Amino acid sequence: MVKISKTYIPKEKEKYMCAKHLAFFKKKLMDWKADLVKTNNEALYNSSMDDNSTSADIVDQASSYTEKNVEMRAINRQIKLISKIDSALKRIQNGTYGFCDETGDPIGLKRLMARPVATLSIAAQEKHEKEEKVFADD
């Protein structure tokens, strides 16, 4: 893998998904994953420490249950995101990162900078969302 500076940002004039681009996105994804894992571990640890379920007050118990439910949903979302990050890292390894799963077209640097786990081009994503909306309306 190519070495890049800490301040490097992929440029449109460079060859799309060149070694520098791949190194940049790999680092971005790995840093994001490490941050999510750290946050999840802290949330799980803190959640286990402040257990209000032994409180005699039913309102405190209900409030605690609701808070834990919200925390666990957030953690589950982050676990799904970690899985998407792992998939993106695999795509970097196998050379398919940055290209649309449906069309094979480049996803584009701007979209990947905003959403590094994107698997669809904007056009394919919009088509996908329109189809979901049509089925949701049925």
Residue ranges of domains in the chain: 19-137
Q: What average pLDDT does range 5-26 have in this prediction? A: 95
Helix (H, G, I), strand (E, B) or coil at 32: helix
Q: What average pLDDT does range 113-126 have in this prediction? A: 94
**Predicted TM-score (pTM) of this structure:** 0.78
How far is Cα of residue 61 from the mean position of the Cα atoms in its chain?
A: 33
- Kindly report the average pLDDT of the chain as a whole number: 87
User: What pLDDT, on the 0 to 100 scale, is given for residue 135?
Assistant: 74
Give 121's pLDDT tier (boundaries 50, 70, 90): very high
Q: What is the CATH number of domain 19-137?
A: 1.20.120.910
User: What pLDDT, on the 0 to 100 scale, is given for residue 103?
Assistant: 93
| 83 Ramachandran zone, left/alpha/beta (phi>0; psi -120 to 50) | alpha
Q: What average pLDDT does range 104-123 have in this prediction? A: 95
